[in-house]
Chain A
Amino acid sequence: MVVFDKPHALTDVPMHYCPGCTHGIVHRLVAEVIDELSIEGKTIGIAPVGCSVMAYNYFNCDMIEAAHGRAPAVATGVKRADPENHIVFTYQGDGDLASIGMAETVHAAARNENITIIFINNAIYGMTGGQMAPTSLPGQVTQTSPYGRDPKLCGYPIRVCEMLSELEGPEYLERVTVNNVKNVKNAKKAIKKAFQNQIDGKGFSLVEVISACPTNWGMTPQAALKWIDDKMIPYYPLGVYKDRSAKEAE
């Protein structure tokens, strides 16, 4: 009896992520969902610039590597190229999605572009070695905020789900995390819904995953998971920020 198996939608390429990084978990969840929905053959994934830049090596579906922040625009092109036969997802970090690519994010949401976005919020630029992100917390020490993020100097972190929920466009916005088993299960549920929405033609679905970056946070993996509970979630509360279809059904 098989009790544990690698999802078909993941390749055999060993991942380059650091110990304790939660990218691996989220990759797996996305792959499981692709398997369960039997959509691998028609799925096209868009990798960002950031730690998950090489996600194109890890997913078995067709993959595209986009310019920094432009994944939602690239996804728009791929989706519109053949809306009936393409399932398109982007996988983006906080710098990619909420800083350099904010315009592409907001406008894809405003258009209710029928795509799925997996948004990894770990409050830091990981790939370049730990600089301040648009989602870094007030007081958070990073390479480019060595004295702690001072909102007077560099503003406040952006809550993406809350911000997008003010738009008429998007179908579904939910914030989840993956720092314990229960939360991982919830995250998978949200990711599955975000893909199912696209299959059903419902439109723009974004799942924000509060993630851990022990390397650049300067913590052990265990401490990083606890930091999510202690610091991240109070600023970024988990939950559904928009679910148009559910609301209409009420």
Chain B
Amino acid sequence: MADKVLMKGNEAIAEAAILAGCRHYFGYPITPQTEVAAYMAKRMPKIGGTFLQAESEIAAINMVYGVASAGYRVMTSSSSPGISLKGEGLSYLAGADLPALVVNVQRGGPGLGGIQPSQSDYFQATRGGGHGDYHMIVLAPASVQEMAELTVKGFELADKYRMTSMILADGTMGQMMEPVALDLDIKPAPEKPWATRGTGMKRPHNIINSLSLVPEELEQLNLERYERYHIVEENETRFEEYMMDDAEICIAAFGIAARVSKNAINAARKEGIKVGMIRPITLWPFPKAPFLKATEHVKTFISVELSMGQMIEDVRLATECRAPVLLCNRVGGMIPSPDQVLDSIRKASKNGGND
């Protein structure tokens, strides 16, 4: 195993991206993700890469669109309000089937909101973020090590399926330091014969485009895209189970909420409560199967979120309403405490699922 280094989550993302071969980064300052840009600004010039502070989030995502069109690994990062501005670009990237990595280190909203951690962009991320029928692969790290690993994975999946991968982190994940091993499993980028790098007068011209004015054709494009999404759902769904074997109560939580929940689960287990957790690592595709399977022994689900209850809808869909799904949450930059989660677990345990 490689030596571990202490890194902030934001820095781990930046370093992992460089290790994954990303040589083009475009961004715009916004708390709490600015360390990504700062890291890139320092490193990129030294390795022959591009760091460019764009005039806006909109410009940044369109610069990403340009590099992606040319077939190179490229990324941008931002936080919630900035991601809204990138929404147009996310839709165009999907419409043109371009691979890219976008990082959202979430803060509380709506509007300018605050700068403290949040998970309230779950809907935006898992439902696409812009107009039209499309998805992004949404990866939710719960440690600095995962910030690095999922960044690499994000590039790999983006290239494989010609989709945008989004790292959906939050302020704590971005700001916290943990030991990271950077001996990451990195696969080289595949050939991209569709890229616009110049014909070299050797092939017909390539066109990167999301315009399609004939409805029959546009329908077909959407259908084909969703066939690809279906393959992603089958092959790339990721999750972690914690103490689920005998669980009668199941926590659903990702990112920082899963970290907090782990403390609460350990405490509840000491009280003899059979509680476990399913932690989605991919938020899209959502790990439906383990949740449905859990309904065989779980009497109550609790969705622990830093939002007014967004992932809870996916948990309800996945469990097909076979068991009640309760919400345990804080919002606006607040984080549920382990005690708050423990209280929810105790209540669920007492009520046996009847809230």
Contacts and interface: CB of A to CB of B under 8 A. Distances in A.
Contact of A77 (B70, B201, B209, B211): B70
A103 B56 contact: yes
A66 B211 contact: no
Given A40-B199, A44-B70, A70-B58, A77 B207 contact: no
B200 A77 contact: no
Interface in A69-117: 70, 73-82, 85-87, 103-104, 106-107
Contacts of A11: 205
A70 B61 CA distance: 10
Nearest to A8: B201
Contacts of A57: 207
Interface residues of A, number: 38
B45 interface: no
Interface stretch (B5-13, B47-55, B280-288, B313-321): B47-55
B209 A65 contact: yes
Which range contains the number of B residues in contact with the other chain? Answer: 35 or more
A145 interface: no
Nearest to B66: A77
Interface of B: 24, 26, 50, 52, 54-56, 58-60, 62-72, 74, 88-89, 92, 96, 196-202, 205-211
A219 to B, nearest CB: 27
A226 interface: no
Interface of A: 11, 40-44, 46, 53-54, 56-57, 59-67, 70, 73-82, 85-87, 103-104, 106-107
Given A44-B196, A44-B198, A62-B199, A81 B24 contact: yes
Contact of B92 (A63, A67, A75, A78): A67
8 contacts: A67-B65, A70-B58, A70-B59, A78-B67, A78-B196, A80-B52, A87-B198, A104-B55
Contacts of B89: 67, 70
